[in-house]
Structure 1
Amino acid sequence: MAEFDSRGTFQKAANEYAKIQDAFPDVICEPLLADMAVKEGDRILDLPCGTGDSIVKAMQIAGPSGHALAIDISASMIEEAKEKAEAAGVKNVDFVVEDMDKAQFDTAAYDIVVSANGPFFAADLKTFLAKMWDAVKPGGKLVTMTLGRNFLTPISGIFLDRAQIRTEDLRISTPWNITEDIAYFREVLEEVTRGQRINIIHRDAVMDYQTADGGWNLLMGTAFRNYTLAMSPEHQAEIEAEMKEWMQANRQFSATCSFNNITVVKDNV
């Protein structure tokens, strides 16, 4: 199997991803906003911004004197984000479809630079974090969120087992593995930020999806959709039916996700 297809995966996953954000605001959006601690007039850079849940709420706090640049590789994600901003009456966000590895930003231009579950998609983690850090103003902050060692446990493991059975030579490649090792992530951040104080909070979130349909939609709103892209329509239908049957038979209607929330404040100079 080829390397992880971010654009193709999240083009197809945008609708389910948006539903996850709406159904579980306490999993990503609310903790992220707490770490950001947005103030009126803040300038914010968000990449990848996904369907815009966090940045739209952040700009409601920042008000008309604030401004945000929000970037995502998926046009579908950006369209969802624009719709949410319009519905919320938020006009001071520039949404851009772009590869976050190729995007360029002004140095020391933002009060907050944020990336939720995005750093592991970077072609080079250190280069990406350094670029984000350079965009932070003195006195501003870098806010990131990464997945821990549990990602939709236990349904993720059941899904991957069935995916390998159905797809010849399927290579399981989970890009978030590079950042789930929090000691390694801290080491890279310390090098990039030149030893500034790094605050890390680990948490486990239980996501109650309530039905087998809800569990399947949860899987398909995440990076696991990547594996269905290599399947025939028949195999996709088979694995969906099997997963729903397994969840129903085992009364398994919740999954655990681990997260690491990281903030670094840049010293005033």
Structure 2
Amino acid sequence: MMSTLDEGHKPAEIYDAHFVPALFAQWGPVVAAEAQVHEGDRVLDVACGTGALALAVDEITGPAGSVVAVDANPEMLAVARSKPARIEWLEGRAEALPLPDNSFDAVVSQFGFMFFDDKPQALREMVRVLRPGGRLAVAVCDAVENSPGYGAFARLLDRLFGRQVGEAFRAPFSLGDAGRLRELCDEAGIEDAEIVERNGKVRFKSIDALVSTERACVWTLGGVLTDEQFERLLKESRTVLAPFVIKGGVIEFDMPSLIIRARKP
């Protein structure tokens, strides 16, 4: 279980070892495609985390291109910098990017936008650093109800521990509303934004691995549950999440995202 397997590991290390392969690695090529990233492009990844998207973009842009990746969390960046890549890793906030105007062919971001303090300002900053004609793609988790496994897990948390705990888990899904995303784009002055839905999969090696990873996540359930509550959650999850178990005990289900797509005039 996570409580023993990863004891002493930092949240960024747990994120990179467990969430990236289970959820986030698959999205790098998808978001890059929505931003029409090509070989030779100069690309910025905003809220890069431990580098899943930046690494995917770096593969596409190749030696003729360049990738800059920004994150506000120094622990995330420390993990990212340990990876062999030509990427320039920078510490900074999305609302005040430490970069010049009109300097990137594409700006991308995956699964960080919902946590930004000032979302319209972050969008303005992303557009500011784009060259004229540059492309923007920002991915967020769709509503938790549209992910069958996570929806069932959220309802289980509500039932066992009350709505407050369930809402803590739902935090990453808070922008899963195309209408709300359009409003944020309007506030940022992005008039031609499109919101597209793309589907991905959540895939953990077991139900226990999924529950243990969620418990360890500082952005959702980290520090919320006692050991006794965790054991109860683990036991109940084995029943509630059983419909999503496939061959070998692996748990797999859909997790769609919404992607803001725009081009700078």
TM-score by length of 1: 0.77
Q: Output the CA distance in 2 between the equivalents of 1:53 and 1:177.
A: 19
Equivalent residue letter for 1:149: A
| Equivalent residue in structure 2 for 1:116, among 101, 110, 113 | 110
Aligned positions, number: 244
| 1:82 matched to 2:77 | no
Q: Percent identity between the aligned chains? A: 19
- Is residue 2:175 matched to residue 1:179? yes
1:129 matched to 2:123? The reply is: yes
Question: CA 1:111 to 1:220, structure 2 compared with 1: closer, same or farther past 3 Å?
Answer: farther
Tell me, yes or no, if the aligned pair for 1:70 and 1:94 is still in contact at 8 Å: yes
- 1:26-105 equivalent positions in 2, closer than 5 A: 27-84=26-83, 86=84, 90-91=85-86, 93-105=87-99
1:15-26 alignment runs, 5 A limit: 15-24=14-23
Does the C-alpha gap of structure 1 residues 46 and 18 become closer, same or farther in structure 2, counting only changes over 3 Å?
farther
How far off is 1:142 after superposition?
A: 0.9
Work out which of the residue numbers 201, 208, 212 in structure 2 matches 1:213.
208
Structure 1 position 242 matched with structure 2 position 232: yes
Query: Following the alignment from structure 2 to structure 1, what is the Cα–Cα distance between the partners of residues 43 and 220?
Result: 30
1:261 corresponds in structure 2 to 259
TM-score (norm 2): 0.78
SS of the equivalent of 1:238 reads helix
Q: Return the offset for 1:131.
A: 1.1
1:190-230 per-residue CA deviation (whole Å, 9 max, x = no partner) reads 4534422x23221343423241222124424756x443335
- Structure 2 Cα separation of the partners of residues 46 and 201 of structure 1: 19
Deviation at 1:53, TM superposition (A): 1.4
User: Does the CA contact (< 8 Å) of 2:143 and 2:174 recur in 1?
Assistant: no
Distance 1:25 1:119, change over 3 A: closer
Deviations 1:146-182 (A, max 9, x none): 11112622213323554549xxx87945544652221
Contact kept in structure 1, 2:214 and 2:222, CA below 8 Å: no
Amino acid at match of 1:98: G
Q: How much has 1:52 moved relative to structure 2? A: 0.5
